[in-house]
Every structure is written in structure tokens, then in C-alpha cells.
């Protein structure tokens, strides 16, 4: 049964035919989705994942202290080189 059969059964008011068409249509869609997922999982078991490169970022630390002129002191952590 197809989606068209389901719509026709709904329009005609035939509850049993609509239920049968609905069940058949969505059973096929679920089966297809499971097959796709099964292939996806199987291929991921065979093919190793590609590692991503992590990008280092500069971190700025604020110690909360004040300098003699009243402005806040900020200390930058210079761990990466450019």
C-alpha cells in the first residue's frame, strides 16, 4: 500500500483500510531507516574516525588586584608561540 492509498482511505472514511495502509507505509519507512543506520554503524566499525586538530587559544587571567593608579591588573598567559 502507498501513501496515496492511505489518503484515499482517509477521505472515504474506511478506518480499516486507512489503518492497514498506515501500518504498511510506516513499517516500510522504519525498515528502510534501520537498514541505513545498520550500514552507517557497520562502516564506522571498519573505518577509523579522522582525528580533528585542536586549536590552542590564548587565555587571559584576571587576578582581581589593583595597581597603584587604581586600574585592574591583567596578566596574560603567553603559552603559545606565533
Domains of the chain by residue range: 1-77
Partners of residue 61 on adjacent β-strands: 75
Q: Extract the C-alpha cell encoding 69.
A: 593608579
pLDDT tens profile 10-56: 999 999 999 998 999 899 999 999 999 999 998 888 876 666 666 66
Q: Which residues contact 53 (CB under 8 A, 6 or more apart)?
A: none
54: three-class secondary structure by DSSP: coil
Angle formed at CA 26 by CA 35 and CA 31, multiple of 5 degrees: 15
Q: Extract the C-alpha cell encoding 25.
A: 507505509
Angle formed at CA 52 by CA 51 and CA 57, multiple of 5 degrees: 145
What pTM does this model have? 0.44
Amino acid at each position: 500500500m502507498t501513501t496515496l492509498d492511505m489518503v484515499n482511505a482517509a477521505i472515504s472514511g474506511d478506518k480499516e483500510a486507512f489503518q492497514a495502509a498506515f501500518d504498511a507505509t510506516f513499517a516500510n519507512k522504519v525498515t528502510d531507516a534501520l537498514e541505513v543506520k545498520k550500514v552507517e554503524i557497520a562502516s564506522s566499525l571498519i573505518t577509523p574516525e579522522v582525528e580533528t586538530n585542536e586549536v590552542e587559544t590564548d587565555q587571559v587571567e584576571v587576578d582581581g588586584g589593583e595597581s597603584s593608579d587604581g586600574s585592574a591588573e591583567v596578566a596574560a598567559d603567553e603559552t603559545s608561540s606565533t
